[in-house]
Structures are given as C-alpha cells and as structure tokens.
Amino acid sequence: KNQVEQSPQSLIILEGKNCTLQCNYTVSPFSNLRWYKQDTGRGPVSLTIMTFSENTKSNGRYTATLDADTKQSSLHITASQLSDSASYICVVSPGGKLIFGQGTELSVKP
C-alpha cells in the first residue's frame, strides 16, 4: 500500500533555532518527492522537489535530503523565523497522482 509517514506530528521550537522533519514512504514506483509548506487556511506551496537521482536540494533556509534506498527524506530548517510556523507536508509521486503525508505542524515561538 502506498503510504507516506511523517514525524514528529507537531514540533515547537524557539525563533532562531534549527529543526529537522522526517518522512518515510512506501510508494512504488517512485517518481519524485516534494516538500510543501501549508499555512493555516491556505493551499500548499512547493518548497523542494527531488527525483530518484537527487539526494539533496536547497531552497533558502530549507534543505531537503532523500535516501531512495531506505525510502527516507528529511527537511532541515535553519535559523527559524516566526513565519515558518505552518504545516510541512511530505508528498511522494508515483507519477501524476500525489500521495500526501499527514504533515508536521511546526510552531516557532519568539
């Protein structure tokens, strides 16, 4: 069964700190893996997308890694800001259709 599992479910950190979010998947075949940021009441916005051959991709303070052998990905956020408070969703695509994780709810406190 195609599944995407994320951990932790929620996370609270202080402004300026770093954090790492985890994603494990059992999707097959594998086309690509994306990380989205979803602010409350808004649609998801793409942060990174990685194919099978890529093992790291950065977008500003966001760095995603992918280990296609162990089927794991992580999203590292450096020097967190209050505006980083959102749900971060790991999404795996077997091609066309997207399979979403439940997200990690990140709260950055001053």
Partner 1 sequence: NAGVMQNPRHLVRRRGQEARLRCSPMKGHSHVYWYRQLPEEGLKFMVYLQKENIIDESGMPKERFSAEFPKEGPSILRIQQVVRGDSAAYFCASSPTPEGNTQYFGPGTRLTVL
DSSP-derived 3-state class of residue 29: coil
Give whichever of 2 and 56 is closer to partner 1, judged by the CB atom: 2
Which listed residue (45, 81, 107, 109) binds partner 1 by CB under 8 A? 45
Tokens representing 34 are 């994306």
Give whichever of 31 and 85 is closer to partner 1, judged by the CB atom: 31
Establish if 104 lies at the interface with partner 1 (CB under 8 A). no
Establish if 22 lies at the interface with partner 1 (CB under 8 A). no
For residues 81 and 74, the answer to whether their CB atoms sit within 8 Å is no
Q: How far is CA 84 from the centre of its chain?
A: 13
Give whichever of 9 and 70 is closer to partner 1, judged by the CB atom: 9
Tokens representing 6 are 């994320």
